[in-house]
Amino acid sequence: MRLRTIMTIVFCISAIAPLAIFWLWPQSRVLDSEMKNAEERHSVIATNLANSLDRYYLDVVKTFDYFVEDFASVKNTKPRADLLSHLNFKHICMVNISTRKVVRAVNSSTTSCPIAIDRDEMGWVKLQLEDSYETTLVTGVRKSADGSNVIYALNRNESSVFVGIISTQFLVDVGSKIRFGSKGHAVIIDQNGKAIYHPIRDWTKGRADLSNISIVKRLQGEETGVDTFYSPAMKEEVLAGFTTAKAAGWGILIGQPVVEVFDRVSEVKHTALVVMGIGFFIALSLAYFASKILTHPIEQMVISMRRIGNGELWAHEKMTEGRFQPKEFSDARDSIKTMAEKLQENIDTISRHAYLDGVTGLPNRECFRVLTQEEIAKLSISGNSGALLFLDLDGFKQVNDVYGHRAGDDLLLAFSQRLHEHCGIFMKRYARGVDNALTVLPARLGGDEFVVFLGNITGPETTSEFSEQLFNKVFGKFNLHNGVNLDISGSVGGAIFPTQAGDFDELLRLADIAMYEAKNSGKGRYCVHKDADDYFDNISTSDKFEDA
């Protein structure tokens, strides 16, 4: 039998068979598949939105805590009002509990703190903080004095309360951007079941109480999943993915009328029928020509793509261009070549950027090297100084031996999180402007060894202060997996750029030497590297910082 005859039969069967199977396949199977896809889609959207809201919530809390700390500071520094705008703060104020008068305030560009808080509002604020002291509390949605919806960030000490009022506009904007199908939507509710955002504008404006809806009750029970429920808003059954922004306590609903899922099934069936009919006609018309013109180049492309899929990225070079080959096949061959080259570029890019430590999430040794060398180059131009600190956990091997590697990994992760947070706070505290701002780069070299590079330091006292605070705020007690409680100390060594070393490798080597000097001098110490002659003549000149 001739090839073109075989191709005609095969093409026709290939076109007819899916059509026959489609009509024989029960509609319930198609519906189940579409329902499953819809459930997965809603669940993913809900999870992504929850993660986004948690990031926003944590930014709000950190910013509010920053102003609370500044307000309570005896230094009475002027807080940065420009931090408020991008987080939708209207204002933050410090209020005397006894007099209800505003003592200090930071205002946005549109609203200002009142001179004093009225008695009812003060009573409500104190009630919210009844079980919370010197800890930030974010309330549910409320109506503000100007009629808009807001949430409060609250904190207190013995004599004052700190009140931050945040517009819900960010949450409304985020929720309103989620649209799919004809009625697919998002709903965001606060921890009390009230609507922060709802596609019905009046429900958003009126902070509609949704706590009696079955799926909202499940949300308030911290359940996560996908389910159908009757929606009072749409007056029909809705398929919804639901989850909670864990840090904020806000509930997320991603809903779509069930009838839309059914409509999608009908649309898929209709589209499939049209496509199959077209495919059958094309197959019958072109089968004769395909055997002569298409077979060989198709086989070459299939073989090349299979080999590319197996990792032979340059297999496309073995494809040849035959006589009378259509231009489309030349374009396809060129596209495969471009795809393979782009894939190789992406692999190279991924390899270059695989610089994060798998346990802690901090930059690894190679990433730290690259970042530090860039900072050193900048410091060389500006003439400013820097310092490299080498941190080692005392007794880490015993943690692994006694409690197992799970506890060891938990300790490394917890320590890295404290170190990262400390570096961020320290860098904010010493922000001095774009040109000479203090830079702080933490990383993990491996094992229990960590490093930090400080750029644009003003003097050795900056390094000493940072190291002292390591012992006060980073080293200390850790609560690990399975109830393991450890008191971890460490040894820290430092080297100064450019007075002691002018490049990364030498800085790292000197800081490592200084760290071992600190460890040999009794552990729990910080030691800055001495010049070579002084170092070997006087090898026990480290300073020890006591834990807080």
The rounded distance, in Å, linking the Cα atoms of 442 and 116 is 44
The rounded distance, in Å, linking the Cα atoms of 221 and 186 is 19
Q: For residue 360, give both structure tokens.
A: 């802690």
Per-residue pLDDT of the chain (548 residues; tens, 9 = 90+): 654 566 667 767 776 676 666 555 545 566 677 778 878 888 899 899 999 999 999 999 998 998 888 887 755 555 666 778 788 898 899 999 999 999 988 887 677 888 888 898 899 998 989 877 778 999 999 998 888 999 999 999 888 999 999 999 999 999 999 988 788 899 999 989 999 999 999 999 999 999 888 888 888 888 888 888 888 888 888 888 899 988 888 999 998 888 887 776 666 666 666 766 676 677 666 666 666 666 666 767 777 777 777 777 666 666 666 665 666 767 777 787 788 778 777 776 665 567 789 899 999 999 999 999 999 999 999 999 999 999 999 888 888 888 888 889 999 999 999 999 999 999 888 776 556 789 999 999 999 999 999 999 988 889 999 999 999 999 999 998 778 899 999 999 999 999 999 999 999 999 999 999 999 988 889 999 885 334 333 333 334 443 32
The rounded distance, in Å, linking the Cα atoms of 16 and 231 is 43
User: CA distances (Å), 530 to each of 187, 201, 458, 465, 538, in order?
Assistant: 61, 68, 19, 18, 9
Q: Residue type for 511, please?
A: A
The set of residues, in sequence order, having a beta carbon less than 8 Å from that of 416 and lying 6+ positions away, is 357, 359, 360, 361, 362, 442, 444, 450
List the one residue out of 171, 141, 224, 144 whose CA is nearest residue 59.
171
Residue 106 pairs in a beta bridge with 92
Q: pTM for this structure?
A: 0.46
Contact 283, 11 (CB under 8 A): yes
Pairing mode of beta strands 149-156, 160-167? antiparallel
User: CA distances (Å), 498 to each of 46, 360, 501, 535, in order?
Assistant: 51, 30, 5, 18
Q: For residue 285, give both structure tokens.
A: 């018309």
Q: For residue 481, give both structure tokens.
A: 């997996």
* Domains of the chain (ranges, CATH numbers): 57-165 (3.30.450.20), 365-544 (3.30.70.270)
User: CA distances (Å), 180 to each of 50, 224, 315, 538, in order?
Assistant: 18, 21, 41, 71
Residue 440 pairs in a beta bridge with 454
The rounded distance, in Å, linking the Cα atoms of 466 and 80 is 23
The rounded distance, in Å, linking the Cα atoms of 122 and 97 is 8
H or E stretch at 196? strand 195-197
Beta strands in 361-489 (DSSP E): 385-393, 439-446, 449-457, 476-479, 485-488
Average pLDDT, the chain: 82
Q: What pLDDT does residue 314 have?
A: 67
397: Cα within 13 Å, side-chain hemisphere: 0
List the one residue out of 273, 238, 243, 268 whose CA is nearest residue 34.
268
Write out the DSSP string of 67-97. Answer: HHHHHH-TT-PPP-THHHHTTTEEEEEEEET
Q: For residue 175, give both structure tokens.
A: 């929720």
Write out the DSSP string of 265-288. Answer: HHHHHHHHHHHHHHHHHHHHHHHH
Q: What pLDDT does residue 513 have?
A: 95
